[in-house]
C-alpha cells in the first residue's frame, strides 16, 4: 500500500484500538466471573491480561508519536462503551460467543484498516490483533455445550446475529464521526466498491466463525 | 530453615495462594472501573494482569506436584471470597488502600510461611509475591488525594483498620480449618512465641504502610 496516510488517522486508529483493548480487558475480566469452573475463570482472565498487554503497547506508541494517549482514546469511549453495554452477556456461553465472534469481527475490521497504515504502525497493529487464545478455547467450550444441550445453538445463533448488528451500527457511527478514519478507509480501499468488498470479506469471515462454533450465521 | 515440610502443606499453601491471585485479579479488574482517569484504569488493569500471571505459575507448579489445581484451590474459595465481599471498596481511593494495605498484609503473611517451605517452592512463592507496582502507584495517588482533601485521611484510616480486622479474622479461620498449614506455621516458627513474633512483624509492616499512605494506623 503506498497511500499516504496522515498521522492524524494513525493516531485515531491507534487511539480507537487502545481503548478497545482496555474495554476488552474489562469485559473479559467481568465475564470470567460467569465461568462454571476455576479453570474457565483463569482462562478468561489470562485472555484479559493479554489484552491489557496490547493496550500498553498501543499506549506507548501513541506517546512516542507525540500524542496524548488519553486524548487519543477519548473520542472512542462513548461508542465502545455503548457497544458493550448493549451486548452484555448474561451467561458464560454468551460471553464466549462474544469473545470469539464479536472480537473476531472487530479484529478483522482493524486488520483491514491496518493494511493501509505505514510501518511500523501496520506491524504493531497486526501484532496486537494476533489471537490471544480466545479462538480455540471458545470453540471448544461452545461446541461441548451444544453437544450437551440441543436448545443451546438456537439461542446462541440469535445472540451471534445480535452482536453483528450492534457491531455494524456502532462501527458505522464511529466512522461517520471521524473524517480522518473515513478518508483512510476510502483512500485505502480505492473507492466505494472497495469498501463494499471490505465489508464482504468481513462478513464472510464472520459466517465462518459462527459455523465453527456450530451456530447458524 | 530445615524443618521438614509435608507435601500436603506445600499443596495447601500453593492452592491458597493460587486462588488468592485469581481473586486478586478479579478485584483489581473490578476496582479499575472506579478509576477517575483512563490512565488509572489501565494501571490497575496491568496490576491485575500481573496477578493472573502469578496464578498461572502456581497452577503449573501444583500440576507438576501431581495435585489437581482446582482441588487444591477449592478449600480456600469460600473464605477468600468472604473476605473480598466484606471489604468491597466503594471508591477509587478505598480500592487503592485495599490494593496496598490489604495485599501488603497478605503478602507479608504468605512470605513468612514461604520461608518454611523447601525449594523450589520457597523461591516460587517469594517470586510471585514480588511487588507488581501496586505500592508506588497507590502511595502516590492516595497521598495526592490527601493533599487535595483534608476529609480523606480520617475516612481512609478507618477503612485501613477495617481491612486489617477482616484479614486477621479470615486468616485465623483459614488456619483453624487447615491442620497442615497450622502445623507448618508452628513447626516453622518453633513454638507459640514464634507465632506471636510473626504476628508482631506483620503488624509492624502494616503500620509502616499505613503511615506511608499518610494514614493513621
Q: Which of B33, B38, B55 has its CB closest to that of A42?
A: B55
Does residue B1 carry a pLDDT above 70? no
Which residues does chain A have within 8 Å of residue B59's beta carbon, measured at their own beta carbons? 42
Which residues does chain B have within 8 Å of residue A59's beta carbon, measured at their own beta carbons? 42
Q: How confident is the model at residue A131 (pLDDT cuts 50, 70, 90)?
A: low
**pLDDT tens-place string over residues B66-104:** 999 999 999 899 888 988 888 999 999 999 899 888 888
Q: How confident is the model at residue A151 (pLDDT cuts 50, 70, 90)?
A: confident
Which residues does chain A have within 8 Å of residue B29's beta carbon, measured at their own beta carbons? 25-26, 29-30, 45, 48
Q: Tell me if A38 and B19 make a contact (CB, 8 A cut-off).
A: yes
Question: What's the CA gap between B139 and B209, in Å, rounded?
Answer: 9
The reply to whether A72 touches chain B by the CB within 8 Å rule is no
Residue of chain B nearest A33, judged by CA positions: B26
Q: Which of A5-14, A37-46, B59-68 has the highest mean pLDDT?
A: B59-68
| Nearest in space to A162 (alpha carbons), one of A108, A113, A98 | A98
Q: Tell me if A55 and B42 make a contact (CB, 8 A cut-off).
A: yes
Length of chain B: 217
Q: Tell me if A52 and B70 make a contact (CB, 8 A cut-off).
A: no
Q: Which of A44-53, A55-64, A112-121, A130-139 has the highest mean pLDDT?
A: A55-64
Report CA-CA distances (Å) from B170 to A60, A165, B21, B62, B184: 41, 47, 16, 24, 18
Which residues does chain A have within 8 Å of residue B19's beta carbon, measured at their own beta carbons? 38
Does residue A2 carry a pLDDT above 60? no
The reply to whether B22 touches chain A by the CB within 8 Å rule is yes
Does residue B159 carry a pLDDT above 90? yes
Q: Tell me if B70 and A46 make a contact (CB, 8 A cut-off).
A: no
Mean pLDDT of A190-197: 82
Per-chain mean pLDDT for chain A: 86
Which residues does chain B have within 8 Å of residue A42's beta carbon, measured at their own beta carbons? 22, 52, 55-56, 59
Say what the pLDDT of residue A3 is. 40
Q: What percentage of residues in chain B have a pLDDT greater than 90?
A: 30
Say what the pLDDT of residue B29 is. 92
Mean pLDDT of B150-172: 87
- How many beta-carbon pairs below 8 A join chains A and B? 78
| Nearest in space to A142 (alpha carbons), one of A90, A212, A81 | A212
Question: What's the CA gap between A142 and A140, in Å, rounded?
Answer: 6
Interface test with A, best of B25, B39, B88 (most A CBs within 10 A): B25
For residue B136 the three cell numbers come to 508506588
Residue of chain B nearest A34, judged by CA positions: B26
Amino acid at each position: 500500500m503506498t497511500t499516504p496516510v496522515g498521522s492524524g488517522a494513525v493516531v485515531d486508529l491507534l487511539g480507537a484500538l487502545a481503548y478497545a483493548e482496555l474495554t476488552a480487558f474489562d469485559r473479559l475480566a467481568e465475564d470470567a466471573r460467569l465461568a462454571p469452573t476455576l479453570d474457565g475463570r483463569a482462562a478468561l482472565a489470562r485472555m484479559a491480561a493479554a489484552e491489557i498487554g496490547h493496550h500498553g503497547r498501543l499506549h506507548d506508541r501513541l506517546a512516542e508519536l507525540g500524542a496524548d494517549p488519553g486524548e487519543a482514546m477519548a473520542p472512542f469511549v462513548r461508542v465502545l462503551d455503548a457497544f458493550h453495554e448493549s451486548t452484555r452477556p448474561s451467561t458464560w456461553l454468551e460471553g464466549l460467543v462474544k469473545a470469539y465472534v464479536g472480537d473476531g469481527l472487530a479484529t478483522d475490521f482493524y486488520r483491514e484498516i491496518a493494511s493501509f497504515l505505514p510501518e511500523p504502525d501496520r506491524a504493531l497493529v497486526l501484532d496486537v490483533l494476533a489471537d490471544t487464545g480466545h479462538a480455540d478455547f471458545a470453540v471448544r467450550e461452545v461446541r461441548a455445550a451444544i453437544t450437551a444441550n440441543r436448545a443451546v445453538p438456537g439461542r446462541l445463533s440469535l445472540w451471534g446475529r445480535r452482536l453483528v448488528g450492534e457491531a455494524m451500527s456502532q462501527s458505522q457511527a464511529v466512522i461517520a464521526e471521524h473524517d480522518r478514519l473515513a478518508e483512510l478507509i476510502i483512500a485505502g480501499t480505492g473507492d466505494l466498491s472497495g469498501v463494499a468488498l471490505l465489508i464482504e470479506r468481513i462478513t464472510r469471515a464472520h459466517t465462518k466463525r459462527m459455523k465453527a462454533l456450530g451456530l447458524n450465521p
